[in-house]
């Protein structure tokens, strides 16, 4: 038996069908080890990551299968994360012999090709993934605590990539708020209206040609615009015809797929990636995490052959695209594995999920087909006209185009992902005019315009902005969108992202102090991670640079924002300790041990040594505040943790249940009596499963009796005091 270990259980059935009975396919269910929840999990100078097992049951099962297998193949996903998962599996399972295999599509051909080309684990890719994990851990764990204390909000978190994303949204919102609109004017003339046949053709005035000063952007004189609109007879200066070509968009990368699905199908990035994952696991599309817009040579050949069979126009040479700077081109763009399949259906899932997966597949397929077709060709006609206004020439332009050869538009008339990035040409039936002649306008309009601020970001446009700035990578975009929304740094209003006061507070606290909020710095760190993956920079060098800078910045941040301990002046170890669940609200210094009452979010009077902080919980018996008492019993028998009334005369006590006081239940009295005072005895369990008896007259009577096997008190033994 040969064992193939993949990441997702969703791939098992498809792969098992491909490989046959001599193979066993099992899944790691993602990462089997991770950094500990408590502590950083790494320390200088070597920053070695300390891992804990997150799926011991999975590892146990895989270890048993590995012992039975003749060969073990590690087939986690073909990216840095997948490489790290394979390394963790090798290390945790103690594999001395293994084969690392990758494929970008779950088809018989691709999987077999991957199995025929095994290799060792690429430790540079593993170190790059570890470096990203280390940077994110350091940023989140080191900065979040001081950040929360500085802005006086609980559970405030900083993120190496998520915080810059919030900054982009905040800065756009503030630009919108501060924007001052300018009212300006334009003129449009309408020519040759033929009733019930033609709406005529239009010409637009060009104020930049002689009517605006060099430093002037808009025409602000409404009266002058009215005079220009009064023109009726205009001289034809020129009329030119030319050809315009529009190339098809590139095949989908992870980012452009998320944008197109958002615009065309109204899917959130997280949903798009979930659907794409299922399509990939079912063998319908290639690997969905990529920033390469290019297809493999074999795929291009198949696509061109299919298009040719349909009679669709093809360019002379296959199309390729220039990747953005820093793109990781380990695998091709997202495409169907079988281009001839026009509709797909997932075998499992809810009806709406299956329907949405089919819609996403259709989007991917049409984009893939269009990418290899010929340009769309337009006939464009541009006419220039002019008229005299008080001795000054007003120049107009009439521009229109007609589709001559549809090219790629035979399969995709409009690509939703380009909806706000491609300027549409006017639909304007400009006639063949002759220079030197005149044209008569039949109508005119002064167009009052107002400048508008840049629009808010949608999730799709924010992803595009992050990609343009080099922030994050394909596998992280959906998670970033999810994080900044779930942590209430941004909210969605009518499909657009709006920063919350909490998000603005986050940005204001971090900008100017921490380098990871600088957008250029964030892009630079992505490049450094790429250098680690390429073996140009070591893991220690990459993480060490970031750590040194972060610690310097953190020190300045703490000095600027943290309150000093009134007793010793320490800022770093002086904390505001609060918990709604446990009723804590005071200031404490680990450096000198002093504690202080809280005074509206700032340290108040010093608490006397031994004094216990009053909680917000009130005594059910007398209504006074309760104290939370914890510590070690004097006899060393264990820890105590309970609530007690601050009024000693009241003396009420409460059990601590999940950080809240709960009244003691009345003890069950037995039928047995105390030999000393005659009061009923109370049975108590012992640690070894037995029983002992205490007097209900405690603390006045402190007699105790051991329990006998029949459950009765042993009166013959001396009482225990």
Residue numbers annotated as active site: 287
Q: Decide: helix, strand or coil at residue 470.
A: coil
C-alpha closest to that of 566 among 584, 593, 546: 593
Integer Cα distance of 681 and 704 in angstroms: 9
Cα-based distances in Å from 171 to 164, 466, 484, 488: 10, 14, 15, 17
Beta bridge mates, 26: 5
In sequence order, the 6+-apart residues with CB closer than 8 A to the CB of 256 are 249, 250, 293, 417
Integer Cα distance of 635 and 61 in angstroms: 46
DSSP state of 166: H
Q: Decide: helix, strand or coil at residue 137.
A: helix
Neighbours of 616 (CB within 10 A): 11
DSSP state of 611: -
Q: Where are the alpha helices (DSSP H) in 391-448?
A: none
DSSP state of 264: I
Angle between helices 477-486 and 269-281 (to 10 degrees): 140
**Do 481 and 460 contact (CB within 8 A), yes or no?**
no
Cα-based distances in Å from 77 to 2, 115, 451, 530, 712: 19, 14, 48, 18, 66
Structure tokens at 98: 């293994």
Structure tokens at 447: 């167009």
3-state helix/strand/coil string of 480-506: HHHHHHHCCCEEEECCEEEECHHHHHH
Beta bridge mates, 99: 73
**Do 506 and 500 contact (CB within 8 A), yes or no?**
no
Neighbours of 548 (CB within 10 A): 11
C-alpha closest to that of 120 among 77, 86, 71, 69: 86
Q: Give the distance from CA 60 to its chain's centroid.
A: 32
**Do 575 and 587 contact (CB within 8 A), yes or no?**
yes
DSSP state of 261: I
Integer Cα distance of 459 and 259 in angstroms: 8
Using only the alpha carbons of the chain, give its radius of gyration: 36
Element of type H or E holding 26: strand 23-27
Cα-based distances in Å from 581 to 163, 365, 429: 29, 53, 72
Structure tokens at 246: 């529009």
Neighbours of 209 (CB within 10 A): 14
Integer Cα distance of 161 and 136 in angstroms: 8
C-alpha closest to that of 280 among 414, 82, 65: 82
Query: What is the DSSP secondary-structure string of 118-153?
Result: -B---HHHHHHHHHHHHHHHHHHHHHHHHHHHHHT-
Integer Cα distance of 256 and 292 in angstroms: 11
């Amino acid at each position: 038996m040969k064992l193939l270990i993949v990441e997702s259980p969703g791939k098992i059935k498809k792969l098992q069908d491909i490989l046959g009975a001599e193979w066993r396919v099992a899944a790691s269910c993602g990462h089997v080890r991770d950094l500990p929840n408590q502590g950083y999990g790494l320390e200088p100078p070597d920053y070695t990551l300390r891992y804990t097992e997150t799926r011991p049951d999975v590892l146990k099962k895989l270890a048993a299968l590995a012992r039975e297998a003749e060969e073990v193949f590690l087939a986690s996903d073909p990216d840095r994360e997948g490489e790290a998962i394979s390394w963790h599996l090798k290390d945790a399972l103690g594999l001395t012999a293994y084969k690392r295999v990758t494929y970008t599509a779950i088809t018989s051909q691709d999987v077999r090709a991957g199995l025929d080309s095994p290799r060792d684990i690429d430790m540079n890719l593993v170190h790059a993934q570890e470096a990203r994990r280390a940077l994110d851990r350091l940023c989140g764990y080191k900065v979040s605590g001081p950040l929360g204390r500085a802005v006086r909000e609980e559970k405030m978190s900083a993120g190496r990539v998520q915080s810059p994303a919030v900054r982009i949204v905040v800065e756009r919102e503030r630009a919108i708020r501060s924007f001052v609109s300018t009212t300006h004017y334009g003129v449009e003339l309408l020519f040759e209206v033929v009733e019930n046949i033609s709406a005529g053709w239009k010409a637009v005035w060009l104020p930049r040609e002689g009517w605006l000063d060099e430093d002037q952007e808009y025409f602000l004189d409404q009266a002058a615009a009215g005079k220009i609109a009064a023109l009726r007879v205009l001289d034809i200066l020129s009329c030119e015809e030319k050809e315009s070509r529009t190339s098809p968009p590139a095949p989908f990368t992870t980012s452009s797929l998320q944008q197109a699905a958002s615009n065309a199908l109204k899917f959130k990035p997280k949903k798009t990636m979930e659907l794409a994952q299922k399509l990939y696991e079912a063998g319908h599309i290639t690997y969905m995490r990529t920033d390469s817009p290019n297809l493999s040579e074999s795929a291009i050949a198949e696509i061109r052959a299919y298009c040719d069979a349909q009679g669709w126009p093809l360019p002379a040479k296959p199309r390729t695209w220039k990747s953005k700077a820093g793109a990781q081109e380990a695998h091709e763009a997202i495409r169907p594995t079988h281009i001839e399949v026009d509709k797909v259906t997932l075998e499992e899932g809810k009806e709406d999920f299956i329907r949405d997966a089919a819609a996403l597949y259709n989007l991917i397929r049409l984009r893939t087909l269009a990418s290899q077709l010929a340009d769309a060709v337009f006939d464009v006609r541009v006419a220039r006209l002019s008229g005299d206004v008080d001795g000054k020439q007003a120049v107009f332009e009439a521009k229109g185009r007609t589709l001559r050869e549809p090219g790629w538009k035979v399969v995709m008339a409009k690509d939703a992902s380009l909806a706000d990035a491609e300027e549409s040409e006017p639909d304007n039936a400009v006639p063949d005019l002759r220079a030197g002649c005149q044209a008569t306008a039949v109508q005119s309009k002064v167009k009052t315009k107002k400048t508008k601020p840049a629009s808010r970001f949608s999730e799709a446009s924010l992803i595009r902005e992050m990609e343009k700035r080099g922030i994050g990578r394909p596998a992280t975009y959906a998670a970033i969108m999810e994080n900044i929304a779930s942590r209430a740094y941004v909210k969605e209003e009518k499909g657009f992202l709006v920063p919350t006061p909490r998000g603005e507070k986050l940005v204001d606290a971090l900008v100017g102090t921490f380098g990871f909020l600088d957008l250029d710095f964030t892009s630079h760190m992505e490049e450094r991670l790429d250098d680690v993956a390429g073996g140009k920079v070591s893991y220690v060098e990459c993480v060490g640079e970031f750590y040194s800078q972060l610690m310097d910045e953190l020190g300045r941040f703490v000095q600027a924002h943290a309150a000093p301990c009134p007793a010793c002046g320490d800022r770093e170890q002086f904390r505001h300790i609060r918990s709604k669940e446990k009723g804590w609200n005071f200031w404490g210094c680990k450096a000198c041990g002093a504690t202080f009452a809280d005074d509206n979010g700032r340290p108040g009077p010093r608490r006397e040594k031994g004094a216990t902080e009053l909680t917000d919980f009130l005594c059910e018996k007398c209504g006074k505040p309760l104290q939370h008492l914890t510590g070690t019993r004097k006899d060393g028998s264990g820890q105590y943790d309970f609530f007690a009334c601050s009024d000693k005369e009241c003396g009420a006590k409460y059990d601590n249940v999940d950080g809240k006081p709960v009244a003691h239940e009345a003890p069950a009295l037995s039928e047995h009596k105390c030999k000393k005072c005659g009061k009923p005895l109370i049975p108590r369990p012992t640690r070894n499963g037995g029983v002992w008896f205490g007097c209900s007259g405690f603390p006045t009577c402190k007699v105790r009796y051991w329990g006998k096997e029949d459950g009765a008190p042993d009166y013959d033994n001396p009482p225990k005091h």
